[in-house]
Structure 1
Amino acid sequence: MPLTYRIEKRPMKRNTWEPVNAVVTIVGETTPLIQFKTNRNMLPINVLSTPPGGVTAEVVFLNNATKPTPENVKGKIAFSETAGATRLYSAAIAAGAVGAMGYSMPAYTKPEINQTSIQFNSLNATATAGWAINLSYAVKERLKAAIAKGPVKLHVEIETKSYPSEELTIIANIAGSIRSAQRFVYSAHVQEPGANDNATGVGTLAEMARLSAQLYKAGKIRPERTITFLWGDEIVSTGRYITDDKERAAGILWGMSLDMVGENTAKTGGTFLLEKMPDPSAIWTRGADKHSEWGGSPIKEESLFPHYYNDFIFNILEEQGKFAKWEVKFNPFEGGSDHTPFLQNKIPGLLMWHFTDQFYHTDNDRIDKVSATTMKNVGVSALTAGLLLASATENTAVSTINTLLAAATERLNTEFELGKKNIAAGMPADKERHIIEVWGKYYTDAMATVSTMPVTKETTKLGSTIKFGINQVEKQAKAYIDQMK
């Protein structure tokens, strides 16, 4: 059958954890200090329940210089505004505390503006005593103000569950009509609880699959290679899909991760990004190239992954951006999402995402921060790419060489101008020449990969175009290197 799907079920290696409810009240006050129904992330993953009826204890504020000891926290609740609850937990419980309450929010989440935000985190699944609670900026300020007036007791009730469960993965396919063993794989991870991260990725991919099936049934598309849609646990499910079946893995030609793809950037901040496969900008990040606040470390030259995929996809995104007045940018490779298993297995893999998001991993990542228009722009771009590559012709490949030649020309010129300035400022000319050399080789090697793009070989035109493109890039790189004395 050309249209298929399956649900894979596997027993989880550890029990699943389910938050049910929680409420913390300052003894003597009626309004809760914090509660689960408004701050789901107050409960770290794997936190234990309190005894039935809850726990009442004095809270001790530990300032910067104070560490939890039996003398200051035994039988009490440890509270810190400089350490998150999960970081404070082990030391506090070891010192005899009944529980720990902590605050830790990165600057990019703007906690003094988004005062109710809490980022999710987790405790070790082997925790056997006590509990921990994450605090928002507003809650920790309210608690500090109360403590400043005198001793404070808190009543804490936490209800969670832990039980055996199954990990689920959904895999849907549109079988290729000519080369069904070759495939384009989309993935969206399901385990994170936010609207943008990653309900937008899951939802966008679901709509792409629904529309693809509709178009197929109407006879409007007939991909010649297989297109696969995968939803599952981040990195784990994608990695398993690649490594569990060597024969299947050999036919995976491209991977694409949809992660945080529906942001209303007027509210969240940041911008849409295409995270590139490892190219020289991940070694020498300069000029217009910038890492996101997620951050990345310089890679080594042997880790470069020259391929047409970067520029092919970004060209589609730029066209959609022009059409829809939608801002698209790119960032050097950083890793950390479903594209990494592809790359680790020498398969071209890209990430579509947004960053920075001031609500990232917080319980304020809700549907009011989502843009249906952005989801449409990403979905249109991603599906266009998959359909084009699944049925790529000689003309598609020739056009891609032209795209690569334009990108290489622009990049080499940019690096040449940066190099001249650096040499004039006293930087070693050898280094600047080497950067040009590496970029030139990156693009000539990327052009060579276009030979495998068409589903079937048609004429000798593609081979001639590749040779011409490579020659042009080599000439330009040499000319720039010769001028860098």
Structure 2
Amino acid sequence: MIMKTKILFLLLFAGVACYAQNPTDGYFKLTRAGFQEKNAYETTAFVEKYFRVPGNTGFNASIHYVENILKKAGFVQQKQNEAEAPLTYRIEKRAMKNNTWEPVDASIAIVGETQPFISYQTNRNMIPINCGSTPAGGVTANVVYLEKIIPAEIEKMDLKGKILFSENNPSRLLQIAAKAGAIGVLGYSMPKYTQPEIHQTSIQFGSMKANSDVWTLLLSYAAKEKLKAACLKGETKLKVNIQTKIYPSEELTIIANVRGSINPAERFVFSAHVQEPGANDNASGVGTLAEMARLTAELYQVKKINPKRSLTFLWGDEIVSTRRYIMEDTTRAKGILWGMSLDMVGEDTKKTGGSFLIEKMPDPSAIWTRGTDKHTEWGAGDVGEKDLFPHYFNDFIFDICKTQGKFANWTVNYNPFEGGSDHTPFLQHKIPGLLMWHFTDVFYHTDNDRIDKVSPTEMRNVGISALTAAYTLISADENTAIATVSQVKADALTRLKTEFELSKKAIAGGKAANNEKHIIEVWCKWYVDALATIGKMPVKAETTKVGSAIKFATNEIEKQTEVYLGELKQVND
């Protein structure tokens, strides 16, 4: 019996080694040949022209632009349900509880100077979302520079009819301004990673409470410094003009579906949010996903792909639309096996900085971030052991991206879980979800995030990787699962070795051995549990071969972990 087991093991993994070299080669060939980065770039260029807020002109125009792409690709408008045709799309319309908003124009000029020192034409983020308009023709008033915000002292000042200015986020002054009778607030709020002293014209977009009696404008570093210098010289009077539109509207979400031939209720869902005013954030996600949908329809119609499960593409309001897609139909939600957010996927990193990243589902690196692991400037999330989400999805996607990276000389990295995009609703509902993005981006959320910062090649690499992964998973068979077992096992052993070396060094440096051993144990358990999830990967029920592969891989990981724990004990002794 022991000899038979050994023979089975050798035969099984010999087959895995042979097959695992190219389980996705066929799909890579199709996506590399078919993905047209020019299409993705053109869509991105159209969307980025607009300041997009749910319900406003730019948001709706973007949705309908995607609709036209889908219709031309062969998707038909859904009447009742997704079963009507293999390729369907629908636009969901919902009345908005609050009015939508869009900017029209703005400028600030120092009275006595011929030209505004900042205007909407160059800085469309200067008007916070929900800001109202000034009277037609603008207003003229004295500006009061507040070096420090001390409410007790400000309340003693005569601010009626004046404009307050500080080098702080204007939200800190709005309530004070309204109470004191001021007409407006000018503020400044740029994080260090945007390097405002270098990129002096950038403004990150913001928002304010709707229906406020006080208007607010945001300043760039250069504008802030100019106004500050003028105020320090003496009395300064400004002419401010703001024109915005605030009106009732509908919120739109567009969803396209490629119906699976065997298990159509099971699906992979891609999500790209439309709102926000940037080119990379997130017009690039909209453009990349639109080209992915177009190519999928093309490949399906010429019978080069035959998805066994369904593939869904969603464009809407960040987090809101994805969460609603999951929560509105509990039966549908049970069939969502994977989710992926495309957010900020087009950066020309030579201009923006940073690199392409996959934000992982919560694994132990989100708790113990050490070695080469590091969080972005976005910041770590609050993750404990109870929040860990063991699944093969992390390694599966990362390895596919690395394959494309090697092929295309494309830099691929990852970061521990942080949250904040359309992957989070999936995770909150216990659905494997990942984020494809770029960071750190010095133009993140700023009005310098324009089409000249977008790389068609970057969108191509992201689109190829994402589609290849999805095609593989929605039609996964026994061989795909066994190859994934081999891949995840190798990744697990590599990670355990890395963590062992870090823990050994930590113990030698005086750290508690029990804590270091615990880290290794948690990583072992995470990978053992991740391997177990591969059993559900094949479209058909788990086979004996897949189960055996998982068992052998699990044993190897657990044995290696015991070796490392024993060596750590010796270091401690």
Check if 1:99 corresponds to 2:184: yes
SS, match of residue 446 in structure 2: coil
Q: Identify the residue that residue 271 of structure 1 maps to in structure 2.
A: 355
147, 150, 155: which one pairs with 1:69?
A: 155
Q: Identify the residue that residue 462 of structure 1 maps to in structure 2.
A: 546
Q: Deviations over 1:297-317 (max 9, x none)?
A: 341111111000000000000
Q: CA deviation at 1:476?
A: 0.6
Check if 1:29 corresponds to 2:113: yes
Is 2:381–2:419's contact at 8 Å kept on the other side of the alignment?
no
In structure 2, how many angstroms separate the alpha carbons of the residues matched to 1:356 and 1:313?
A: 21
In structure 1, how many angstroms separate the alpha carbons of the residues matched to 2:354 and 2:369?
A: 19
Q: Identify the residue that residue 364 of structure 2 maps to in structure 1.
A: 280
Is 1:70–1:96's contact at 8 Å kept on the other side of the alignment?
no
Paired AA for residue 466 in structure 1: I
Check if 1:108 corresponds to 2:193: yes
Report how many aligned residue pairs link the two structures.
483
In structure 1, how many angstroms separate the alpha carbons of the residues matched to 2:542 and 2:267?
A: 20
Q: CA deviation at 1:53?
A: 2.5
Is 1:60–1:78's contact at 8 Å kept on the other side of the alignment?
yes
TM-score of the two chains, using structure 1 as the length reference: 0.98
In structure 2, how many angstroms separate the alpha carbons of the residues matched to 1:373 and 1:151?
A: 52
186, 203, 206: which one pairs with 2:270?
A: 186
Is 2:204–2:446's contact at 8 Å kept on the other side of the alignment?
yes
SS, match of residue 521 in structure 2: helix
Check if 1:414 corresponds to 2:498: yes
184, 188, 207: which one pairs with 1:122?
A: 207
Is 2:341–2:422's contact at 8 Å kept on the other side of the alignment?
yes
In structure 2, how many angstroms separate the alpha carbons of the residues matched to 1:214 and 1:18?
A: 36
Q: CA deviation at 1:458?
A: 7.4
Larger RCO, structures 1/2 (Cα 8 Å, 6+ apart): 2
Q: Identify the residue that residue 5 of structure 2 maps to in structure 1.
A: none
Q: Deviations over 1:75-99 (max 9, x none)?
A: 2111112x12233222222222111
Q: Which has the higher helix share?
A: 2
Mark the CA change 1:458 to 1:55 in structure 2 (over 3 Å): closer, same or farther: closer
Check if 1:260 corresponds to 2:344: yes
Is 2:535–2:546's contact at 8 Å kept on the other side of the alignment?
yes
Paired AA for residue 228 in structure 1: T
308, 311, 325: which one pairs with 1:227?
A: 311
In structure 2, how many angstroms separate the alpha carbons of the residues matched to 1:42 and 1:459?
A: 59
Check if 1:80 corresponds to 2:166: yes
509, 514, 519: which one pairs with 1:430?
A: 514
Q: Identify the residue that residue 37 of structure 2 maps to in structure 1.
A: none
Q: CA deviation at 1:271?
A: 0.8
In structure 2, how many angstroms separate the alpha carbons of the residues matched to 1:431 and 1:202?
A: 44
- The 5 Å alignment of 1:376-455 reads 376-455=460-539
In structure 1, how many angstroms separate the alpha carbons of the residues matched to 2:211 and 2:142?
A: 26
Paired AA for residue 254 in structure 1: W
Runs of 4+ in 1 over 6 A off after TM superposition: none
In structure 1, how many angstroms separate the alpha carbons of the residues matched to 2:256 and 2:217?
A: 39
Paired AA for residue 240 in structure 2: V
Gap runs ≥5 in structure 1 = none
In structure 1, how many angstroms separate the alpha carbons of the residues matched to 2:484 and 2:179?
A: 61
SS, match of residue 202 in structure 2: coil
Q: Identify the residue that residue 427 of structure 2 maps to in structure 1.
A: 343
In structure 2, how many angstroms separate the alpha carbons of the residues matched to 1:375 and 1:25?
A: 40
Q: Identify the residue that residue 156 of structure 1 maps to in structure 2.
A: 240
In structure 1, how many angstroms separate the alpha carbons of the residues matched to 2:419 and 2:138?
A: 42
In structure 2, how many angstroms separate the alpha carbons of the residues matched to 1:454 and 1:381?
A: 20
SS, match of residue 8 in structure 1: strand
Paired AA for residue 257 in structure 1: S
In structure 2, how many angstroms separate the alpha carbons of the residues matched to 1:335 and 1:4?
A: 31
In structure 2, how many angstroms separate the alpha carbons of the residues matched to 1:378 and 1:384?
A: 10
Q: Identify the residue that residue 224 of structure 2 maps to in structure 1.
A: 140
Is 2:400–2:465's contact at 8 Å kept on the other side of the alignment?
yes
Check if 1:202 corresponds to 2:286: yes
In structure 2, how many angstroms separate the alpha carbons of the residues matched to 1:470 and 1:484?
A: 21
Paired AA for residue 479 in structure 1: V
Is 1:189–1:198's contact at 8 Å kept on the other side of the alignment?
yes
Q: CA deviation at 1:72?
A: 4.3
Paired AA for residue 477 in structure 1: T
Q: Identify the residue that residue 101 of structure 2 maps to in structure 1.
A: 17
Q: CA deviation at 1:74?
A: 2.4
Is 2:535–2:542's contact at 8 Å kept on the other side of the alignment?
no
Q: Deviations over 1:340-382 (max 9, x none)?
A: 0000000000000001110010111000000000000000000
Is 1:60–1:72's contact at 8 Å kept on the other side of the alignment?
no
In structure 2, how many angstroms separate the alpha carbons of the residues matched to 1:23 and 1:183?
A: 49
Is 2:361–2:432's contact at 8 Å kept on the other side of the alignment?
yes
Is 2:280–2:346's contact at 8 Å kept on the other side of the alignment?
yes
Q: Identify the residue that residue 236 of structure 1 maps to in structure 2.
A: 320
Q: Identify the residue that residue 175 of structure 2 maps to in structure 1.
A: 90
Paired AA for residue 71 in structure 1: M
Q: Identify the residue that residue 247 of structure 1 maps to in structure 2.
A: 331
Q: Deviations over 1:126-180 (max 9, x none)?
A: 42x1211100011111112222332111111111121111110000000001110
Q: CA deviation at 1:105?
A: 0.6
Q: Which is worse superposed, 71-80 or 287-296?
A: 71-80
Paired AA for residue 98 in structure 2: R
Paired AA for residue 456 in structure 2: A
Q: Which is worse superposed, 48-57 or 251-260?
A: 48-57
Is 2:132–2:211's contact at 8 Å kept on the other side of the alignment?
no
Gap runs ≥5 in structure 2 = 1-84
SS, match of residue 197 in structure 1: coil
In structure 1, how many angstroms separate the alpha carbons of the residues matched to 2:193 and 2:135?
A: 37
Is 1:183–1:228's contact at 8 Å kept on the other side of the alignment?
yes
In structure 2, how many angstroms separate the alpha carbons of the residues matched to 1:164 and 1:66?
A: 38
Is 1:69–1:92's contact at 8 Å kept on the other side of the alignment?
no
Q: CA deviation at 1:456?
A: 1.3
Mark the CA change 1:305 to 1:65 in structure 2 (over 3 Å): closer, same or farther: closer
TM-score of the two chains, using structure 2 as the length reference: 0.83
SS, match of residue 157 in structure 2: helix
Is 1:86–1:121's contact at 8 Å kept on the other side of the alignment?
no
Q: CA deviation at 1:199?
A: 0.3
In structure 2, how many angstroms separate the alpha carbons of the residues matched to 1:120 and 1:303?
A: 32
Check if 1:472 corresponds to 2:561: no
Is 1:85–1:102's contact at 8 Å kept on the other side of the alignment?
yes
Q: Deviations over 1:437-485 (max 9, x none)?
A: 1100110110000000001147421111111000001101111112222
Mark the CA change 1:106 to 1:175 in structure 2 (over 3 Å): closer, same or farther: same
Q: CA deviation at 1:329?
A: 0.5
SS, match of residue 255 in structure 1: strand
In structure 1, how many angstroms separate the alpha carbons of the residues matched to 2:199 and 2:305?
A: 46
In structure 2, how many angstroms separate the alpha carbons of the residues matched to 1:298 and 1:102?
A: 30
Q: CA deviation at 1:28?
A: 1.0
Q: Deviations over 1:213-250 (max 9, x none)?
A: 01111111111000000000011100010010011000
Q: Which is worse superposed, 6-15 or 85-94?
A: 85-94
